[in-house]
Amino acid sequence: MAMFALMSPGGSPGVTTTALATTYVWEGRALLAECDPQGGSVLPGFLAGNMDGHEYGLLELALAAAHHSDPAIVWKHVIALDQEARKWLLLPGLRDPRHLVQLEGAWETVAGVLMAAQEKVDVVVDVGQVGRSDTPMSLIAACDVAVMLVRPTLRHVVQARPRLDALGRRVGTDVSVGLCTVGGGPYTSQEVSKALFDLPVLAQIPDDWRAAMVLSDGVPARKSFHRSGLLRGASRLGAAMRSHLEKKVTAP
């Protein structure tokens, strides 16, 4: 199994919502790890605060892993979003971004624990906006594939370019990097790819606010939710990320 990072250049292309949707429709077991330094949003959002009493998550995992080498420790800190099935899992992110200081120097430890989890589950890491001083580069570097979500607009492409350049300089060819366009804009996927170092556009996800509100704010799902454009796009993204990884593995 493998570890995939989803990120953005800023401007709210919906990294967490996309990551949640992608793990929801994942083929096989998937763990969404909320590793955005600015804090997690699934507990108050998708779960609508129904698990406010949950005491475990990213920070607690990092602190525990610093004192214990047991790779199974991660399973004490995750939530099964599908209850008993335990196919769709969540490692909740920081509840308070002021706690970020306690994660300084711990990202490599977190990466090691998540890499160990790959024995049982594919891991999708939500790292939020990259390019900030608090971007967990060592965590992204531990992933097999990293995907930048970007709207096909000039503003987003301009924001993405220096961040992708910095990422490439940090991870080199060790991490396979791709793009995913979100929503509409004046540029085609081919134009976005050409502007961003010819990186492949793995998938396109439409703006679908009704389905997005289910995942971002816990709004009750309609019967059409499972056929929504968001979930169809997320399914294509998941399949493309796995295919992208296979090409990397089989490349000479």
Q: What is the pLDDT of residues 200-249, one digit of tens each?
A: 999 999 999 999 999 999 999 999 999 999 999 999 999 999 998 887 76
**Mean pLDDT, the chain, whole residue set:** 91
- Distance in angstroms (rounded) separating the CA atoms of residues 197 and 150: 14
pLDDT, residue 199, reads 97
pLDDT, residue 237, reads 98
Q: pTM of the prediction?
A: 0.94
Record the tokens describing residue 159, joined without a space: 């924001």
Q: What is the pLDDT of residues 146-174, one digit of tens each?
A: 999 999 999 999 999 999 999 999 988 88
Lowest mean pLDDT among 68-72, 96-100, 140-144, 186-190: 68-72
Range of the domain at 94: 3-250
Lowest mean pLDDT among 11-25, 44-58, 99-113, 148-162: 44-58
Record the tokens describing residue 94, joined without a space: 């920081």
pLDDT, residue 30, reads 96
Count structural domains, the chain. Answer: 1
pLDDT at 52 over 80: no
Using alpha carbons, list the distances in angstroms from residue 164 to 149, 169, 191, 234. Answer: 11, 9, 16, 22
Burial 85-108 (b: 16+ CB within 10 A, else e): eebbbbbbbbbeeeeeeebeebbe
Domain CATH number, residue 159: 3.40.50.300
Record the tokens describing residue 247, joined without a space: 């090409």
Question: How sure is the predictor about 140, in pLDDT bands with cuts at 50, 70 and 90?
Answer: very high
Question: How sure is the predictor about 56, in pLDDT bands with cuts at 50, 70 and 90?
Answer: confident
Lowest mean pLDDT among 49-53, 73-77, 131-135: 49-53
